[in-house]
């Protein structure tokens, strides 16, 4: 599709294949809210699908060529949908364009194994503070966007969380590509780390050679390897002064961090960040680097970051139970779990209690030892059963295998038992973290509902 924006006018009709996906569901709401007629399809009747149906969007269950209605003008596909999908084949047969958003004057695509949602959210805060009125698509929720994951702006700027799974981000058209880090993940799709690096390199190469920028984390060796030698404008950020953008004078005050943001040896602005951890300092630097590429003023960066208090399910405060603080976090990779615990441990809690729900059998098996190293760190670790997501357990792995090897861990086959146990042990001075990409957040919510 040569210019997707030509279709973004009221009355046009589009069909979204895999409409219940984490990126596709917000896109459906964006387009529907703009006055387009939207249909969709998905293999399951998820909460997102039910929500979209409630808005008045017609959604078919399963993928069939008949789902492409006679007056459909364009089709958008999710990354998990392959060329042999009957709806894609029917659209191509009828000459209906199949694509995803493109051709914004400024398209900021934020990729990486970790930190995508937070960095995209920080960029959104900065662009809103700069009055850029961006269109936004985030894989999570953000209070600034009325706790949704999207907004429709009138400016020629779009901010997109860009996932590598199934090479999804290779369908985007970045003018600024941000790579936060590159690690082994999604090994049910990628062959190995080299395969992942190759995908990220293709993503970076999507940036226009003369006018675009690749913003990358200079502290991450895999990311540096990905961008090495590519003929694009490279713009680095990191925690030391060998980067283009880096911090200085870092001061930690409780869960907040104050620091100066340096740009090539000079102070760009000073920032107060209200989310803890070095990983969030790095995310803020990534968002700042992208903003500098856009020519955004220092005051907007400072004001935007000061207003950021976290995205949904990213160290999200849920409430207090019996004097214990309850937070929820999406961490589902060992590096994300490490970053979370690194951020929490200096906060001075008497006990750190982690309720961890592994996500997918493939990831749990491939990274078992790495998970072990992190799960032994909390004072108390409760293990919920693995959240299967898209998989079947052909590997015979369970969360109980962690508990068998960890002195601080207990395995529960039923989430209700975890709630009852937390109710009995929670006390003032505790922090209770519900952690994982599945439905583990419901455990904290059920605990709070019983107050």
Q: What's the pLDDT tens digit per position in 31-69?
A: 887 789 999 999 888 878 888 999 899 999 999 999 999
Band of pLDDT at residue 29, cut at 50, 70 and 90: confident
Q: What is the distance between the alpha carbons of residues 350 and 410, in angstroms, rounded to a whole number?
A: 19
Which backbone phi and psi does 355 adopt, to 5 degrees?
-105, 110
Q: Which residues belong to the active site?
A: 116-117, 161
Q: Specify the 3-state DSSP secondary structure of 215.
A: strand
**Mean pLDDT over the full length of the chain:** 92
Whether the CB-CB separation of 149 and 116 falls below 8 Å is answered with no
What's the rounded mean pLDDT across residues 271-300?
97
Residue 125 has pLDDT above 50, yes or no: yes
Give, in order, the Cα–Cα distances in Å from 232 to each of 213, 241, 314. Answer: 7, 22, 32
Which backbone phi and psi does 107 adopt, to 5 degrees?
-120, 105
Residue 109: both structure tokens together? 């695509």
Q: What is the distance between the alpha carbons of residues 446 and 261, in angstroms, rounded to a whole number?
A: 41
Residue 279: both structure tokens together? 């990983």
Q: Of all helices (H) and strands (E), which one includes residue 364?
A: helix 361-366
With CA atoms as reference, report the closest residue to 409 among 335, 368, 332, 355: 355
With CA atoms as reference, report the closest residue to 152 among 39, 57, 34: 34
Residue 26 has pLDDT above 80, yes or no: no
Give, in order, the Cα–Cα distances in Å from 388 to each of 50, 196, 359, 393. Answer: 21, 22, 6, 8
With CA atoms as reference, report the closest residue to 306 among 240, 342, 259, 239: 259
With CA atoms as reference, report the closest residue to 235 among 193, 295, 186, 279: 295
Give, in order, the Cα–Cα distances in Å from 109 to each of 11, 199, 250, 402. Answer: 28, 15, 28, 36
Q: What is the distance between the alpha carbons of residues 53 and 34, in angstroms, rounded to a whole number?
A: 16
Kindly report the CA angle at 36 between 118 and 168, in degrees rounded to 5? 40
pLDDT of 83 reads 87
CATH architecture of 316-449: Alpha-Beta Complex (3.90)
Q: What is the distance between the alpha carbons of residues 373 and 50, in angstroms, rounded to a whole number?
A: 39
Q: What is the distance between the alpha carbons of residues 108 and 422, in angstroms, rounded to a whole number?
A: 42
Distance, first Cα to last Cα, the chain: 53
CA atoms within 13 A on the CB side of 159: 28
User: What CATH number does domain 106-306 carry, 3.40.50.720, 3.30.70.890, 3.40.1190.10, 3.30.360.10?
Assistant: 3.40.1190.10
Band of pLDDT at residue 102, cut at 50, 70 and 90: very low
Q: Where are the chain's structural domains?
A: 4-99, 106-306, 316-449
Could you tell me which CATH number the domain at 4-99 has?
3.40.50.720
- pTM: predicted TM-score of the whole model, two decimal places: 0.80
Q: What's the pLDDT tens digit per position in 219-254?
A: 999 999 999 999 999 999 999 999 999 999 999 998
């Amino acid at each position: 599709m040569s210019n997707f924006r030509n279709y973004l006018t009221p009355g046009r009709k589009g069909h979204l294949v895999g409409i219940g996906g984490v990126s596709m569901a917000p896109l459906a709401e964006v387009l529907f809210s703009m006055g387009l007629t939207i249909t969709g399809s998905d293999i399951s009747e998820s909460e997102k699908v039910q929500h979209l149906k409630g808005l008045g969007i017609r959604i078919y269950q399963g993928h069939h060529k008949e789902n492409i209605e006679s007056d459909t003008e364009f089709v958008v596909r999710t990354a998990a949908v392959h060329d042999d999908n009957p709806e894609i084949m029917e659209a191509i047969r009828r000459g209906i364009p199949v694509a995803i958003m493109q051709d914004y004057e400024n398209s900021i695509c934020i990729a990486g194994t970790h930190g995508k949602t937070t960095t995209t959210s920080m960029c959104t805060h900065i662009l809103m503070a700069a009055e850029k009125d961006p269109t936004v698509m985030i894989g999570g929720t953000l209070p600034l966007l009325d706790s949704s994951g999207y907004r429709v702006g009138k400016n020629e700027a779009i901010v997109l969380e860009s996932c590598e799974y199934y090479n999804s981000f290779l369908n985007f058209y970045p003018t600024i590509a941000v790579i936060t880090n590159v690690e082994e993940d999604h090994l049910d799709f990628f062959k190995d780390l080299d395969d992942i690096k190759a995908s990220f390199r293709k993503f970076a190469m999507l940036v226009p050679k003369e006018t675009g920028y690749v913003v990358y984390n200079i502290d991450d060796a895999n990311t540096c390897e990905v961008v090495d030698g590519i003929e694009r404008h490279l713009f680095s950020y990191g925690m030391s002064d060998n980067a283009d953008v880096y911090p200085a004078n870092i001061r930690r005050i409780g869960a907040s961090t104050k620091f100066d943001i340096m740009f090539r040896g000079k102070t760009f602005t000073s920032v107060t960040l209200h989310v803890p951890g070095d990983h969030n300092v790095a995310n803020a630097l990534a968002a700042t680097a992208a903003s500098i590429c856009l020519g955004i003023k220092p005051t907007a960066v400072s004001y935007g970051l000061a207003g950021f208090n976290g995205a949904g399910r990213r160290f999200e405060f849920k409430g207090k139970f019996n004097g214990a603080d309850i937070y929820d976090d999406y961490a589902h990779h060992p590096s994300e779990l490490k970053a979370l615990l690194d951020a929490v441990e200096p906060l001075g809690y008497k006990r750190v209690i982690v309720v961890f729900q592994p996500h997918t059998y493939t990831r749990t098996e491939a990274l078992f030892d790495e998970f072990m190293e992190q799960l032994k760190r909390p004072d108390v670790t409760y293990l919920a059963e693995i959240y299967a997501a898209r998989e079947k357990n052909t590997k015979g792995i369970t969360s109980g295998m962690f508990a068998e090897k960890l002195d601080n861990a207990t395995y529960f086959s039923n989430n209700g038992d975890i709630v009852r146990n937390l109710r009995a042990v929670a006390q003032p001075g505790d922090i209770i973290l519900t952690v994982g990409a599945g439905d583990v957040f419901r455990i904290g919510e059920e605990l709070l509902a019983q107050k």
